[in-house]
Each structure stands twice: as C-alpha cells, then as structure tokens.
Homo-oligomer: A and B are copies of this chain.
C-alpha cells in the first residue's frame, strides 16, 4: 500500500462536509468557519529515520518541522498565522536537546511572523517524533490557490533550483511564503503545489487534480548547485524535499515574473499546460517526448 493509496482510501470515506471547502488531497485543507472566515490547515509528521537522522542538529530538526508546514501553506498562496507543535521525546532526553529543538521551531515561526500557539509534549519509547500543524489564511479578499486550477494554455513555473536537497538543504530551506504572497498579489494563479516528493511526482499530482497534461522542457529545469555527481536531471526530478513552488500562470505574466523574480528568488518557466489525458510529458534536449513517471519519494513504496 503506497502513501497515495492510503490518502485515497481516507478521502473516499471523508467527503467534504459542512464548512470543508477542500478536504484531503491538497497541500492544505480549506475550511469555511463561522463568522465568514476562510482558513487553511496543514499537518505534517516528521520521524527519526524517515525525515531526519538521530545525528542531525536538534535546531535544524525543529526548524524543518515548522518549515515543511510553512511550505504547504505558501503553496496555497496563503500566509501562515499560528503553529502547533506536538513532540514525542525519547525517554532520558537531555533538557538541552528539547530546548534546542524548540529554538529551531521558534526560529522558523518568527521568521514568518507565526505564533507558536499550542502543542503537546510526551514521552516516546521509540525515537524522536514531531508533528507540526499550521493554520494560515489567504490575503484579504482572495481565495486559496488549489492544485486543481491549472488551465490549458498556461505556463508552468518553478521557484529556485531543484535537486540535491539531501546535501543539507532539506533541513535549512527557506519556505517560499514571501514568494507566494508576492505572486498572488501580482497575478491570477491557476494551480500551485510545493515540491516535497520531487518534481516528477508533484507535477503529476498537479496535472491529475487539474485534469490537464503538463509539457516540461528538460533544458529549462533549473538544477541546484548542490546536486552531486551523477545525473543532474534525475536529481532535479526525483530527489524530493526541494520545497520550491510549482505553479501555473498565463504566458504573458510568466515571462514578466521570470524577468523580475519573486521576492528576490528566481522563477523559471519550465513548461506549459496542454490538453489531453492527465499526466506529465518531458521534452528532451533533442525534442524527444516521453511520459514522465513518478520517481520522487514515496512513503511505503514497494
């Protein structure tokens, strides 16, 4: 059973209910609350051995826990407001370990003006585990950006550079909230997702949920300097944990965004939205086209 089968199982049994505008399957849930407020909510669990190693610095682990959720909220074109952190601490942990972990979480929260409004601490007989929950809201008068809004004819863009995150960036990345807020202030955004599993996997999610095909051009995909020896394209497609934003906008806007960047970050047109069976086509340097298979990180694969 793969992660996405499990998510489908859950989604089938939990229809969007009263006040749930978008339920399971986007970067965040979108909720309409009493009093006409719209919020987005995301929850992410990080576990030792899966998302970090026991030797990683506690500050970086705490930072990553909050930053991963900040990235999900940014992918909705929203601003994070309140964070909640539940931590299972290994028995016999040193107090300094817990405080360093929390300092890291607070650093991520403060950087983006987010309050740490609540949490839970408990003893863990296994390793360290952290669950971060973030509540955000769209800018006044706007709606959250979904994965499902891409339209034929739009350009496909990505922030920053992809690949090589495991060299350390996966613990230190800057969530693209500033970029996302400038983006939604400047133009209409068709669809958006953050790259957590890897471009190959996440582009397929966006395509599937929008019911469109994406044509991505190999020679336009910006590869990170941190990609080690090997195949840079494969790294950019499949390493995962880039936490960059993939989004669609009208072609005219796209070239203007590429010229100016967003909040000091480069943004690149890497493809286009076309009609056809949902999926992702990779156009090679020689013009050859191939269906891009999901090669990014999957929990429970195999």
Contacts and interface: CB of A to CB of B under 8 A. Distances in A.
A44 interface: yes
Given A9-B102, A23-B115, A98-B6, A121 B44 contact: no
B29 A33 contact: no
Contact of A47 (B7, B99, B118, B122): B122
Given A82-B31, A84-B133, A106-B14, A122 B42 contact: no
A29 B131 CA distance: 16
A83 B38 CA distance: 16
Interface string A47-85: 111110000000000000000000000000000011011
A121 B3 contact: yes
Given A33-B39, A45-B131, A102-B10, A19 B82 contact: yes
Interface string A10-48: 100110111110011000110101111111011111111
A299 interface: yes
Number of identical protomers: 2
Contacts of A51: 122
A201 to B, nearest CB: 15
A299 B121 contact: yes
Interface residues of A, number: 70
Interface string A122-162: 11111101010101010010000000000000000000000
B86 A29 contact: no
A229 interface: no
A126 to B, nearest CB: 3
Nearest to A83: B14
A167 interface: no
A115 B19 CA distance: 9
Interface stretch (A87-95, A213-221, A235-243, A283-291): A87-95
A120 interface: yes
A61 to B, nearest CB: 15
17 contacts: A9-B98, A14-B116, A17-B115, A19-B81, A29-B117, A41-B117, A41-B135, A42-B118, A43-B86, A43-B118, A43-B119, A45-B87, A47-B129, A49-B124, A50-B123, A123-B300, A131-B133
